[in-house]
Structure formats: C-alpha cells, structure tokens
Structure 1
Amino acid sequence: MEIKTSDSYQKEVLEKYKRNRGGELSTYLLNPTPRLIKQACILLLDKRTSTDDINILNCFFQFRDEESRLKEVKSFDNDRFKPIVNFLKGRTNSTSDENIELISWLIDFKPRPLRQYLKPDNPIFEGDDSKPEIIHELGRLDKKNVDNLERKKEEERKKLGDAKRKKEKKKRRRMLIISISISFGALLLTVLALKYPMNFDGKLPECMTWADSLYVRVSCEKGPFSQFGTTVDSLDQMKLNKMKKVKVDAAYKFFSNTDEPLIWYYKKSNGEIEYFTAPGLHPTNGETLRKITPYIIQTYVPKHMNKKSSFVQ
C-alpha cells in the first residue's frame, strides 16, 4: 500500500479533478480561469462550512471579518487564483498547501484537509460524490446568474460613486460661492471704511458733493455720483464751509491785511479763469489750485462786474 504524503495528496486531488472535470462545478472548473474560480468560491461559500472547510478558506483568503467573508471574496485579487489555474491545467507540477486545500474544497475531495488525509484509518473516496443540494443550487444559480449579480453590484457601486462625486462637487461649488461672497463683502466694507470713515458712535457720517459753485450735504447712499453729476465724498467741514467758486472784479479783496491770499484760481484749457475761496484741489477735476498773484489780477481780472450781484451770495 502506498504511503500517504503531501505529494500523494496533491496527486490524488489532481486526479479527481481530471477524472470528474470539477464534478458539479464543471461549469466553472472545466476550463478554469481566475474569474471562474472566484465565482465558484462565491457559490460554495455558504454550502461547505465544516470546521475543516472554514479553516481552509481562512488560510487561503485570510478573512479579516467573519461577517464580511462574501465581500472579501468578491474583492479578492484575481491574480491569486492564477497558480491554481496553472496547476489544474498542468502548467506546473505542484502548488502551495493553501492552493491545494482550496482545490480539494472546490471539488469536494475527501478526506480533506491534508491532516485528515494522512490519518491511516481514513478511506479515500473515489468517483462522483456530488451532493444533490449543490446540483440543485447550480441549476438555479448558474454562471450567467453570477455574472448578472456581479454586474448589478458593479452598477450599484458606480451609481453610489457618481452620487458621491456630485455631492462633493455641489459642496465645493457652494463653498466657493460662500468664499467669494465673504471676500466681496469684506472688500466692500474696506472700501466704504476708507471712503466714509465711521464716527465714534459707529454711524456713517454725512457726505457732500460739489453743486456748481459750492459743496452741499448729501446722503452717503447717493454715491458714487450725486444728482449734480459730481462724486459723493465724505464730509469735510472746512471745504463745506470755505470752498466756493466766485466771480471777481478788480474791486474784490484778494489778500488779507497780512498779505495772505484769499483767492485761488484754476486756468482752463480755453484760457478762462475760475476763482475759489479756499486752497486745495479743483472740486471736479482734481487739479491743484494756485494762489492768486498780482500778475493774474492785472492780466485776467475784469475791471468791474457785468452783473450787479456776484455768482454766490
């Protein structure tokens, strides 16, 4: 009688496979591929569940969680089944212990695993020992059904992935809009703070605008331009009280008792002279006003007014 060894175990498992061509799993094992072997494992996962069989599966798949065995088999790397395919197709003469044990589980070789096979009192069962319930199951859930199930699962995963990506894209768009709004609001507040400084009570001060010949008070909400077509500026009490455009003649008082100028002028491109009662910038074009001089008075100031009253009362 031949002594049982691990080599004879591999030999007898392979002989049974060749003799029965996978038995009830011939649909998957007659011409095995890594994908078909995985599908056969999925089909039998809950059918052959003895303690020895569970140990065989744990040894091969290295399950992390007993409750997620099916999920882990489905996600198992197909390349791990290639050595099994090579062994069954005769491309290699031997294979690893975990591989031969998985084959023995797939074709229902008995006795299995190797430690049971090596016991001298265990007979070796030959022939077709298919279980009727497996045959019935194969009739109901054949290769096509398994493929359909895999395809359906893949479609569900794709839908979930698409939904997740859409949700993330919508979230990013919303955050971008919020960020832009906050930045714009901060910029607007900065501009308003620079243009219209707050009073100590936190209220916006009154504003003013140039109205042809003098500054007048207006609401800051009228900005940036007033009904006069001039810019709305923060209120400057000195300009409001002192800056006026006036008409002058030779009798006008141009200097104070200490010879300080009382009139400043701006010469337009057409040679016309405008006269103002305060220094600074021209109210509409921003040009610097020049202080009056005797030369300007003698050269440009008329001897008398054409009208009885001045332009500004």
Structure 2
Amino acid sequence: MYNYTIEDYKKAVKAKYEIERQKVNFAYLENPAQGKLRDLCWEKFVEGVSQDDLNVFNDFFGFPFDATKKNFFREQRDKFRPIVSFFKGKTDPANIEAIDLAAILVDFQNRPFNKYRTKGKSEEMVLGDLKEVMPDNFIRDTEVPKNLKESPSYDIKLYNDIPKKKRTPSKLQYIGAAVIVCLIGLIIYLALPEKQCMQWSNDHYEMVDCDLKIEGLGMANKIEILDKSLVNLQKVNVCDTTTCFDKNGQAVIWYAKTANGIDFFNGHGRHPETNGTLRPVTRYILNKYVKK
C-alpha cells in the first residue's frame, strides 16, 4: 500500500490552491495576504463546516470557533503568516494544523491529513484482487488500466514480481479476468459524480444541460460547472424599504458597479455578467445610488 506522506499532502493542497486562486475566491487568493486569508477563513466557518474542520480550527488557533466573536477573531491576523508563505511557495509551515487550515481555505476535499494519507486504500485493494483472481502472467503481460497506473498506489514491482508459468491460461480464466475488469470499470464509473452545470438567466442561475449549445455572447450566457456557493445567487432591486443589514449591522445585500451603474445581489461571490467581486453594501452606497 502506498504511504501518503505529509509532503504528498502539501503538494496536493498547493496544487488545489493554484486552481482555486483563479476561481470565485480569487480576490482572497490571487495575491494572498494575512488579512485576506483571515477574512476568507471567517466566511467559510460562518457558512458551516464539518466537525473535522472545527477540530482543525481549535488545534490551529488554540480556541474553538465562535460566530459571535468576530472582533476577537480579527485580532488573529498574524496567525496566517505561515499559510501566506506556503501559498507563495516561500516556506512550508512547521505544523500540520497550518496545512490542514490551508486545505480548508482552498476547499481541498480530502482533508485533514489523517484522512488524506489513507485515501489510496481502495486502489490498493483493487490491485490485490486482480493479483488473486487473474492468471499468473495476465497482469504482467496486459496493459494496466490507466487510472490505476497513474495512481500513487501503483507499484510496477507488483506486476514484474509475479512468477511466470509455462501453462496457457484457460478460456474460463480469460472470461473471469474480463468480468473482473468490467466490474472494476463499472465501480469507478458509478463512483464518479454526475456532472452538473448552470447558466445565468436574467437575474438568477438556472440548472442546465452541460452540453447545451450557448446562444449569444458574454458572461450572461456562459455555461458553467455547478458552483454550490453561487447557484442561489440572485439579483435584487433595492429601494428605501429593503432590509440591507441584519440585527448586528452586518450587510445582507451585496453589490458590484457596472458600466450602467450598480447591481445588487442577495449574497456574496462574483458578478455573473462582469465577473467582478461582489462587496457588502454600505450606507454610503445606499445613500449615493438608492436614496436619491
């Protein structure tokens, strides 16, 4: 079985960062800074995370997450210094908790490290099953499935060390091997998540067929892979009676300036037509653009 190391984990998280820095959170990740990562961290934990993530938070900061203590959390800016250095490729954090928190910030799914280091088990079991049921020289002389060969679990020695026998495999053995390969392919196919897509339509996102032919030009017509953080985003009309702040004074309406003025939305993210970052509304913005 392949031993997934902390170095493997760091490389995987860093690779995910390189992907995420171009996506919805690019404003925080494109040029990472301590304050930006602190704000991104707060948003992710306020939205809701797993118990594993809450444990990482407690281990990293030395206190449990509390959504009512935002001002106290803002004082933890310096804690993000090693993660900034990690994302920029300058140094590696000395403790695993920092890497685990970095994995949360870039939404690396196979986290924390204790979970990541065992993820190759299923592939190793598949190789073991093949060795048990297939003819002695079949695995060595047959091309290894690409998805297994590219896996860190693949060990060429496993195939080369199987002893050759001079006897010719029977037809029944070939049939059995073919059935096993087909079953493995079916299991892998069923395990893959179904691809889902969305498209901006006037003032909201709609679920669409990923193969739908795009009609028209511009971001408004772009077919996008489903983003759960954006799928419920809606453009709203703001007036004098619109509730724009919660009881704690936090903005519940977000905005982005456009060539034609300003657009308001019911959540944060990016403008679906201009790709600009949505910002929390302020009383200054309301006075300037709404209360004329």
Superposition TM-score, scaled by structure 1 size: 0.40
Q: Looking at both structures, which has the greater relative contact order when contacts are Cα pairs under 8 Å and sequence separation is at least 6?
A: 2
Superposition TM-score, scaled by structure 2 size: 0.42
Task: Indicate the structure (1 or 2) with the bigger Cα radius of gyration.
Answer: 1
